[in-house]
């Protein structure tokens, strides 16, 4: 009879593997460059590196700059998607798809061919639709997001950075074009300036690796929040994890699945969150990005994490 393989990562602490990864990252020369299309992010130091792992019970292990707040940017698209799915369910998919786009995160080209319906909730166009729905459902998209992140992370002061939001607004022509274009197809309910204001504040949320790993915990607990209440059904948590795996790192999602093998979501602030369903969540931060907008050191750290621990969805 074939025996099942031994359980992976039997050690009772993730600290040794994090320490080993931090040493490997420290000697890496290649770091990428911080996002420069949002001036407030351009001055970030690409040598900053932090990584945190949160277990299902809220125990957190960390290394490097894991307690330094950074700009969460598109990581927040994961949380707004979950908050809308929780209330709206399957009806959301009439307004946004769930297929990888194979295009850059801020691309306009598919939108016209596909009648103003964005490919998925993680490209900017899709995230704008999700934030539009969250604002319609709650009357306060950014307030709802912050309330959720504060509760899950345990930090009542977690907030957004108004000067980053102002910088995004001042340099937001591409997002404004996406929102107006979708509005012309009837796929935006709120006035575009209201939607953009909500979206830019959402992108400007600042949090640490520890806080973001904790806030992602519901996806490893099959939809259950830190206080044991349910945000998503088990099936909906599976759906969000699946969309992270296939669309969370944009046109690099295939390479991320190959190297890391986990549902993950990146942001141009240099953060990446990742989920080991039923086991733990991770957040890694380093501001230097590759050409597709994913943190170079972040992916380089998640890759050995899954190799060393054997924790992956595959």
Find out whether 129 and 182 touch, Cβ atoms under 8 Å. Answer: yes
Contacts to ligand DON from residues 57-86, by CB under 6 A: 73-74
DSSP state of 194: H
132 binds ligand DON (CB under 6 A): no
Task: Provide, rounded to whole angstroms, the least separation between the CB of residue 196 and ligand DON.
Answer: 10
Catalytic residue (one of 60, 61, 71, 74): 74
In this chain, which of 55, 65, 132, 168 binds ligand DON, going by CB under 6 A?
A: 168
For residue 199, indicate whether it is catalytic. Answer: yes
Pairs from 307-310 (Cβ < 8 Å, separation ≥ 24): 308/17, 308/20, 308/21, 309/8, 309/9, 309/14, 309/17, 310/8, 310/9
Beta bridge partners of 159: 206
Task: Provide, rounded to whole angstroms, the least separation between the CB of residue 80 and ligand DON.
Answer: 12
For residue 265, indicate whether it is catalytic. Answer: no
Task: Provide, rounded to whole angstroms, the least separation between the CB of residue 106 and ligand DON.
Answer: 5
For residue 74, indicate whether it is catalytic. Answer: yes
Find out whether 261 and 282 touch, Cβ atoms under 8 Å. Answer: no
For residue 77, indicate whether it is catalytic. Answer: yes
For residue 84, indicate whether it is catalytic. Answer: no
Find out whether 97 and 86 touch, Cβ atoms under 8 Å. Answer: no
Task: Provide, rounded to whole angstroms, the least separation between the CB of residue 66 and ligand DON.
Answer: 20
Measured distance CA(111)–CA(93) in Å, rounded: 15
CB atoms inside a 10 Å sphere around CB 112: 10
Contacts to ligand DON from residues 210-269, by CB under 6 A: 266-268
Instruction: Supply 230's token pair.
Output: 């349910």
# binding residues, ligand DON (CB under 6 A): 12
Task: Provide, rounded to whole angstroms, the least separation between the CB of residue 229 and ligand DON.
Answer: 29
Catalytic residue (one of 199, 240, 266, 296): 199
Task: Provide, rounded to whole angstroms, the least separation between the CB of residue 135 and ligand DON.
Answer: 16
Strand runs labelled E in the chain: 50-55, 60-64, 70-71, 159-160, 205-207, 264-266, 271-276, 280-285
Query: Mask of contacts with ligand DON, 87-106, x by CB under 6 A?
Result: ------------------xx
175 binds ligand DON (CB under 6 A): yes
Measured distance CA(243)–CA(253) in Å, rounded: 10
Angle at 166 between CA 189 and CA 102, to 5 degrees: 60
Catalytic residue (one of 250, 275, 284, 295): 250
293 binds ligand DON (CB under 6 A): yes
Catalytic residue (one of 164, 268, 275, 296): 268
312 binds ligand DON (CB under 6 A): no
Q: Write out the residues near ligand DON by the rule CB under 6 A.
A: 73-74, 105-106, 124, 168, 175, 203, 266-268, 293
- For the annotated catalytic residues, the residue numbers are 74, 77, 199, 250, 268
């Amino acid at each position: 009879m074939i025996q099942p393989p031994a359980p992976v990562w039997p050690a009772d602490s993730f600290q040794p593997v994090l320490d080993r990864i931090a040493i490997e990252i420290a000697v890496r020369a290649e770091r990428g460059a911080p996002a420069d299309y949002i001036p407030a992010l351009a001055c970030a130091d690409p040598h900053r590196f932090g990584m945190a792992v949160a277990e299902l019970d809220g125990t957190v292990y960390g290394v490097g700059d894991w307690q330094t707040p950074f700009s969460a940017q598109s990581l927040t698209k994961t949380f707004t998607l979950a908050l809308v799915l929780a209330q709206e369910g399957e009806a959301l998919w009439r307004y946004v798809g769930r297929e990888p786009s194979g295009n850059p995160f801020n691309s306009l080209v598919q939108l016209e061919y596909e009648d103003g319906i964005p490919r998925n909730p993680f490209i900017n166009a899709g995230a704008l639709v999700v934030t539009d729905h969250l604002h319609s459902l709650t009357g306060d998209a950014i307030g709802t997001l912050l309330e959720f992140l504060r509760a899950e992370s345990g930090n009542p002061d977690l907030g957004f950075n108004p000067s980053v939001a102002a910088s995004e607004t001042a340099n937001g022509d591409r997002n404004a074009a996406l929102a107006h274009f979708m509005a012309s197809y009837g796929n935006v309910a709120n006035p575009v300036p209201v939607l953009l204001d909500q979206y830019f504040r959402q992108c400007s949320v600042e949090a640490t690796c520890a806080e973001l790993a904790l806030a992602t915990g519901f996806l490893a607990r099959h939809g259950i929040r830190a206080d044991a209440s349910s945000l998503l059904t088990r099936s909906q948590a599976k759906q969000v994890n699946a969309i992270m795996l296939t669309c969370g790192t944009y046109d690099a999602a295939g390479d991320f699945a190959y190297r890391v093998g986990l549902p993950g979501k990146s942001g141009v602030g240099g953060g990446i969150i990742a989920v080991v369903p039923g086991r733990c969540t991770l957040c890694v931060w380093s501001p230097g990005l590759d050409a597709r907008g994913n943190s170079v050191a972040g992916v380089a750290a998640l890759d050995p994490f899954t190799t060393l621990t054997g924790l992956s969805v595959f």
